[in-house]
Structure 1
Amino acid sequence: MINQLISLSLKNRYLVLLVSIGLFAWGVYAVRENPIDAIPDLSENQVIVFTEWQGRSPQIMEDQVTYPLVSNLQGIPKVKAIRATSMFGMSFVYVVFDGKADVYWARSRVLERLNYAQRLLPQGIIPTLGPDGTGVGHILWYTLDAKGIDLGEQRALQDWYVKLGLQTVPGVSEVASFGGFEKQYQVNIDPHKLNYYNIPLSQVLKAVKSNNNDVGGRKFEMNGTGYIVRGLGYIKSLQDVENIAIGTIKTIPVRVKDVATVQMGGDLRLGIFDQNGDGEAVGGIVVMRYGENADKVIHAVKDKMADIQKGFPPGVKFKIAYDRSELIESAIGSVRHTLIEEMITVSIIVILFLLSFKSALSIIIQIPITIAASFILLNAFGISSNIMSLTGIALAIGVIVDNGIVMVENSHRNLSIAQEKEGHDDSRKN
């Protein structure tokens, strides 16, 4: 079989050369398309279901939210395990699928089952799916360098400007905000005043909710011009909340300010974010979508950040806290340097031992062709270019050239034997 293959290759040299060039070109294309990351993604193929119910104890969350979800999510095809945890006001359910299951197929199956399970949950409680990222999807952390701006304004800038802009970058699954204060209108009700005016708390809640809304009207024409009538009722200031009527006493309206104090404050926080001991900071975590090219996504996010920064208030700028592209480029550069060193070392050794540049060239050509072709297999099996896979390729260079060295050395030996035999026959004839 081997003899026939060698004979066929010798008879069709140009065809072999054409196939080699085509394989190398395909490999180069595979190198450009292969995802690049610093470390391999070994996280489980899972879908996270998150449910929030403010103010409820972990036991209530477990009994009324977590247990109904877990019991109804069982039976989904290709599910390997279901794990769950309940905490104050929050419930997490982790649905782990087989490694061969497509992540977006898995998310659609979970979402399909949630539509049925939601009827078993308390009214108004809606479970949501977590981002379509993995445990190693945190590719970039940043903070806002905004001296002179309070934490509430910084968090509003992050949530309503920066976050919305970065989420439009291809390959970004989520931008999670951290730090600062989430601004909110806070109504502190005095129960004694409620009792004095004989107004229940539910009536105050309903009045505040219903008065923070726009209402539609109709269109009418006057003098050939059409006008649209609508009621503007969204809250824009503290005074708007204070002047909301919650009841009447002898035709005299009772307003929110009569039974409560209204202020602008921050939402309840369970922790703070401190950077290098310099005080609190506000920023975000960029989560990469499953299976994306980390290096490509990071550079796209940085380009978007440069555009977003043009709309910042004076003196505000981004400050990178963690950038995985530095680790990626360092790891890839180290492995690339090792590959070049090994190729040069192997070439020198082959030339010294065989004393033939042409023979050495036939062996050296194998290295880039084989390495390029290996990326075709990496793409086929969904393996990214990371420090593990590239190190394996670097270690395999010796094995790559062993085949060529043995064949070329054996060819040189047979040629030498044939030449000696031919010289011996010529001397005998003389």
Structure 2
Amino acid sequence: MATGEQSPLDVERVREDFPILDREVGDGVPLVYFDNAATTQTPNEVIDTFGDYYRGYNANVHRGIHQLSQEASIAYEEAHDRLAEFVGASGEREEMIFTKNTTEAANLVAYAWGLNELGEGDEIVLTEMEHHSTLVTWQQMAKRTGAEVKYIRVDPEDGSLDMEHAKELIGPDTAMVSVVHVSNVLGTVNPLSELADMAHEHDALIFGDGAQAVPNRPVDVEDLDVDFYAFSGHKMAGPTGVGGLYGKKAILEEMEPFMYGGEMIRRVTYEDSSWNDLPWKYEAGTPLIAEGIAFAVAADYLDDLGLKNIRAHEERVTAEAYDRLSRIDGLEIYGPREDEERAGLVSFNLDGVHAHDLSSILNDHGVAIRAGDHCTQPLHQKMDIAASVRASFYLYNTVEELDALVEGIESAKDIFA
């Protein structure tokens, strides 16, 4: 979307759903929240879900025949169905496992599948733009199993994935391809479906990290043909502490559990145990009941606004941000160029000002952004920068809020001149 186009969202009305956006910070300046790639804010109806649960039907799921337990169990099970539907999984709850976050989802697959399937001679193919949640997980799993990790090159000029290099790396020895759908630093949107085709041509599996994709664009895991796909509630207007892992039913049925204990069992003797049905087989112990139910409410909220509308609005704010930031002398923007597809974030550095110093000055102007390596230290090393500043946008941000961002950057230039 080009700068100056009308947003498809009534943003002022949307902002009324997010009470935190009305607060002031520091010396009484209005909050401008541009740290959405880390955690989004939460609307009233998601917040209210917790009160409804704890005041109305707080009980453990699948553990009792009394009414409260039955009500909690139904709501929790339906939340799985809702999140499966949200990402296009026709297998419904059997293909949707609730985890704490994307990181735990990656670890679940690495331990439940990788520990049993990987060995000497196997290859795990990642990208150079992976988040630590997947990069470190597969790196350490390779060390345990004797597998080898290879990385698809990223073009440091425009943040694109080198697909010719991908074709070279993904081959007969590849067992797993793990790809971030949208980069949390570059804003690059990777061709996940094409990579899935490459993986499957060699009988390899593919894991998609959807943490930065699911919150702001329609995702259909079956259309993408991924074997696993993970995302987090707190990045999509939901609560912290809950995330989703989609997995193809046939694969999940063959895998061993990640954790053991109550809930995930069918029958236990002193000699052996057998496992519960999907998805409970992978949800040991008392789960995050209220969080899971609120997770589904967040999905409803986003669907009510329309994910295509959310994406178009983000593109509008991002295009305006890119245009305004690119006109600041001494400021370097990373990732796709202005005329290329980019997710709703802009990472950059200001010449002569450390990212953390710039973040502090922006905070004085009420602007919340993220500074550092954003859990992508190897990518920053490849780009030959110690850290970067990231402004990331969501459905409640406005073009007008960019004024505070630009003013803060200009203030930093004056201070460090």
Q: TM-score range by the shorter chain?
A: under 0.3
Bigger Rg over Cα: 1
TM-score of the superposed pair, with normalisation by structure 1:
0.24
Provide TM-score, normalisation by structure 2.
Answer: 0.24
